[in-house]
Amino acid sequence: MTVSYKDLGLVNSRELFKKAVKGGYAIPAYNFNNMEQLQAIIQACVETESPVILQVSKGAREYANQTLLRYMAQGAVEYAKEISGGKGIPIVLHLDHGPDFETCKSCIDLGFSSVMIDGSKLPFDENVEQTKRVVEYAHKFDVTVEGELGVLAGIEDDVEAAKHIYTQPEEVEEFVRRTGVDSLAIAIGTSHGAFKFKPGDDPKIRLDILAEIEKRIPGFPIVLHGSSSVPQDLVKIINENGGKLKDAIGIGEDQLRAASKSAVCKINIDSDGRLAMTAAVRKVFNEKPAEFDPRKYLGPARAALKELYMRKNREVLGSAGHAYDK
């Protein structure tokens, strides 16, 4: 049986992206795998009045089960209403890094409102064909689709790509036209995980390539993956409490802020949330070794995550206050 996301109170990303491009901000796309992450995301976005994209990765589907995650997202719609005095906030349920047509279809049929088909490692024409097939299916149900051109360095689905293959601006127009995608993820030097640069590297993303891409597809919604900033205060807390994170370096928040003001309208953040939760859990374990009630360490982890995401919405993405944009 297929379920429409519209019956679950979810929205697709189309209108949100239009408003974000016009308003010069980006919609947060936060990954979730469990209840505490979901609660923190919803609480943060309700409190800052931000729209939000809830992302489910392949790893999340394996860890938590995609059906359960979908029901949790449905619950999140009701939860957001409950804690916002009935108004709620716009919530997108998105498949992150969809590996093939079948996975995208199963998420669409289950009630996801948006999917990514990640053909970035395929040759151009194969990427076009696969993406187009997903778009044709998704659009029948008014589900929005994100495609990708260019390859991010770093770890993705347990596979490590050694080098960035930057998106080639001269390819974007043809890709968008031939596939009919609703948004495009590009590679401009961001990467997945907590080790994006080596000490001594110039930790810059290629805003010049972004500008070139924007010139070719003006106003078209652009997505940045791998956009964690790896806050050094969190790395310090982790290391001071028994952790061993050496040389963890992320993307400067000033660069992400600049990108959000352009056609970048979706910014993916996962690793920073993992760091915030890990720092909080390690601190409890270190300071209170007799604690064994999961609520006593997952509670602080949830609070730390909420605080981090509120700050991201306000200071980095600029999405705070935009939940009810007309």
- Dihedral of CA atoms 265, 266, 272, 278 in degrees, nearest 10, equals 140
d(CA 269, CA 32): 10
Considering the complex, state which of residue 73 and residue 88 has its C-beta at the smaller distance from ligand 13P. Answer: 73
Handedness of CA 25, 205, 144, 273 (dihedral sign): negative
| Residues in binding contact with ligand 13P, number by CB under 6 A | 14
Considering the complex, state which of residue 102 and residue 125 has its C-beta at the smaller distance from ligand G3H. Answer: 102
Footprint (CB under 6 A) of ligand 13P, residues 209-248: 225-228
User: What are the tokens at 47?
Assistant: 């409190």
Residue with the two structure tokens 């689709």: 145
In whole angstroms, the minimum distance from the beta carbon of 72 to ligand 13P comes to 18
Contact between 39 and 302 under an 8 Å Cβ cutoff? The reply is yes
Considering the complex, state which of residue 193 and residue 318 has its C-beta at the smaller distance from ligand 13P. Answer: 193
Residue 52, strand partner residues: 91
Please say if 202 is a catalytic residue: no
By the 10 Å C-beta count (0-12 exposed, 13-18 middle, 19+ buried), 241 is classed as middle
Footprint (CB under 6 A) of ligand 13P, residues 152-211: 192-193
Q: Which of 103, 271, 313, 319 binds ligand 13P (CB under 6 A)?
A: 271
Considering the complex, state which of residue 197 and residue 297 has its C-beta at the smaller distance from ligand 13P. Answer: 197
In whole angstroms, the minimum distance from the beta carbon of 56 to ligand G3H comes to 9
Considering the complex, state which of residue 51 and residue 193 has its C-beta at the smaller distance from ligand 13P. Answer: 193
Strand residue runs (E) in the chain: 27-31, 52-56, 91-98, 114-117, 144-149, 153-156, 159-161, 183-186, 191-192, 222-224, 264-269
Show the binding pattern over residues 11-50: x = contacts ligand G3H (CB under 6 A), - = does not: --------------------x-------------------
Residue 97 touching ligand G3H (CB under 6 A)? yes
- Partner whose binding site includes residue 59, from ligand G3H, ligand 13P, Zn ion, none (CB under 5 to 8 Å by kind): ligand G3H
What proportions of the chain, in percent to the nearest 5, are helix, strand and coil? 50, 15, 35
In whole angstroms, the minimum distance from the beta carbon of 53 to Zn ion comes to 12
Show the binding pattern over residues 147-176: x = contacts ligand G3H (CB under 6 A), - = does not: ---------xx-------------------
Q: Which of 234, 269, 301, 305 binds ligand 13P (CB under 6 A)?
A: 269
Residue 57 touching ligand G3H (CB under 6 A)? yes
Contact between 173 and 135 under an 8 Å Cβ cutoff? The reply is no
